[in-house]
């Protein structure tokens, strides 16, 4: 028998506290959405908003706060400074979000500012690169498309995997494609189009009784919104590394949800549980030890990345820390209890002797 930190005969009433859990989720979502509205949306990094990166290597150790002060006093107030590589490398990325200057002008400004403080022999500019606003907008749209299609394909997969309703899942995909086509005719911005498509997906899952897909999709959207909301609350930038983190979170959260759904389906077939709520509780308790062990070991790895990984992947690791915690929570308190509101789809009844 494998390692178990929760006894197999544990009976925690997760479904019984679902309303309390939903209130917590709703409060977190409203807090994040409120922050996004107040700030006019996510704080985009250079990848999405456009700007200039300058990588500088210093000959000796320099504190990042001191470097920020030097740049601010030199007239480069609208910059973000991050460490690059290992701390002993003394390398930094200076991000300038201004769009009305050229790369050479920024380089000259940085050199003039640093020379005034430490002379021209204490550092070396390793590279500089510029992302135009058009490229940033294209990357932003592609990132949104990637997250949307990830969730859509997951909805189709869950429908076929757990409910053996591939045809209905195909109808949902076709209806969604038609809805998106009609919305494109009115020239909706991509961000609104993605939001509308998400609502259509959830509505179709509900209407077509794709219950498992509905629970999984709602849980994934829940995880993404809360993670983005935390970044907005903390004023952190949203760039391509965070999109990569969100896609990783979607995959991780889905894996946890599938483990619980698998056990629910198995227990339903075996007739375990007096009621559907009892079956869900039994299934969550049976997989709880595995869920906590997996999440705990993953958190240890991500925490190590966060502490030791350096500034370049600092926000990436931070997003994963939030996502692993929220994803574990949602697989227990969001995805499965949502099935309670609708009930399971008709399960194929395998009567003994039917085939005889």
- Of the pLDDT bands very low, low, confident and very high (cuts 50, 70, 90), residue 23 is very high
Domains of the chain: 14-43+135-342 (1.20.1640.10), 51-131 (3.30.70.3220)
Give 282-308 pLDDT, tens digit per residue: 888 888 888 888 888 999 999 998 888
Decide if pLDDT at 243 tops 50.
Answer: yes
Provide DSSP, 259-303. Answer: HHHHHHHHHHHTT-SSSHHHHHHHHHHHHHHHHHHHHHHHHHHHH
Q: Which residues pair with 43 in a beta bridge?
A: 237
Cα distances (angstroms) measured from residue 12 to each of 67, 219, 288, 333, 341:
52, 21, 10, 12, 19
Structure confidence at residue 356 (pLDDT): 34
Structure confidence at residue 24 (pLDDT): 93
- Of the pLDDT bands very low, low, confident and very high (cuts 50, 70, 90), residue 30 is very high
Say how many CA atoms lie within 13 Å of 330 toward its Cβ: 31
Q: Please say whether the beta carbons of 239 and 46 come within 8 A.
A: yes
- Of the pLDDT bands very low, low, confident and very high (cuts 50, 70, 90), residue 311 is low
Q: Which residue has the higher pLDDT, 279 or 98?
A: 279
How many Å apart are CA 59 and CA 72, to the nearest integer?
Answer: 21
Average the pLDDT over 15-35 and give the result.
Answer: 90
What b/e sequence results for 285-295 when a residue is b if at least 16 CB atoms lie within 10 Å of its CB, and e otherwise? bbbbbbbeebb
Phi, psi (deg, nearest 5) at residue 275:
-130, 170
Structure confidence at residue 325 (pLDDT): 92
- Of the pLDDT bands very low, low, confident and very high (cuts 50, 70, 90), residue 355 is very low
Q: Which residue has the higher pLDDT, 57 or 311?
A: 57
Say how many CA atoms lie within 13 Å of 183 toward its Cβ: 19
Give 246-282 pLDDT, tens digit per residue: 888 888 888 888 888 888 888 888 877 778 888 888 8
Give 130-161 pLDDT, tens digit per residue: 776 666 677 777 777 777 777 777 777 777 77
Structure confidence at residue 199 (pLDDT): 83
* Pick from 260, 334, 342: nearest CA to 19: 334
Compute how many other C-beta atoms are within 10 angstroms of the C-beta atom of residue 128: 17
Q: 3-state DSSP helix/strand/coil percent for the chain, to nearest 5?
A: 70, 10, 20
Decide if pLDDT at 49 tops 90.
Answer: no
Q: Please say whether the beta carbons of 315 and 236 come within 8 A.
A: yes
């Amino acid at each position: 028998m494998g390692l178990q930190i929760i006894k197999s005969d544990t009976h925690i009433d997760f479904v019984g506290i679902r309303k309390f859990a939903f209130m917590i989720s709703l409060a977190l979502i409203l807090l994040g959405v409120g922050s996004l509205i107040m700030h006019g949306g996510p704080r985009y990094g250079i990848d999405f908003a456009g700007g200039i990166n300058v990588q500088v290597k210093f000959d000796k150790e320099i504190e990042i706060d001191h470097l920020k002060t030097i740049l601010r006093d030199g007239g480069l107030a609208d910059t973000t400074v991050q460490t690059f590589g290992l701390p002993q490398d003394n390398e930094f990325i200076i991000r300038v979000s201004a769009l009305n200057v050229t790369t050479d002008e920024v380089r000259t400004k940085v050199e003039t500012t640093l020379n005034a403080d430490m002379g021209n022999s204490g550092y070396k500019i390793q590279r500089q690169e510029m992302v135009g606003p058009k490229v940033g907008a294209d990357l932003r749209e592609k990132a949104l498309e990637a997250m949307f299609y990830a969730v859509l394909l997951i909805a189709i997969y869950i429908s076929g995997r757990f409910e053996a309703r591939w045809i209905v899942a195909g109808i949902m995909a076709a209806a969604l494609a038609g809805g998106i086509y009609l919305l494109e005719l009115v020239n909706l911005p991509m961000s609104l189009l993605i939001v509308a498509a998400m609502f259509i997906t959830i509505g179709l899952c509900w209407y077509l009784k794709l219950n498992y897909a509905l629970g999984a999709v709602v849980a994934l959207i829940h995880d993404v919104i809360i993670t983005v909301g935390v970044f907005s609350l903390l004023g952190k930038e949203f760039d391509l590394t965070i999109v990569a983190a969100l896609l990783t979170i979607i995959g991780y959260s889905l894996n946890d949800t599938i483990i619980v759904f698998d056990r629910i389906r198995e227990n339903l077939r075996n007739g375990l549980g007096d009621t559907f709520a009892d079956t869900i509780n039994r299934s969550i308790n049976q997989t709880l030890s595995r869920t906590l062990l997996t999440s705990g070991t993953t958190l240890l790895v991500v925490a190590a990345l966060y502490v030791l990984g350096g500034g370049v992947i600092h926000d990436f690791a931070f997003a994963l820390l939030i996502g692993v915690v929220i994803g574990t929570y949602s697989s227990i308190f969001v995805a499965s209890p949502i099935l309670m509101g609708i009930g399971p789809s008709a399960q194929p009844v395998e009567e003994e002797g039917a085939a005889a």
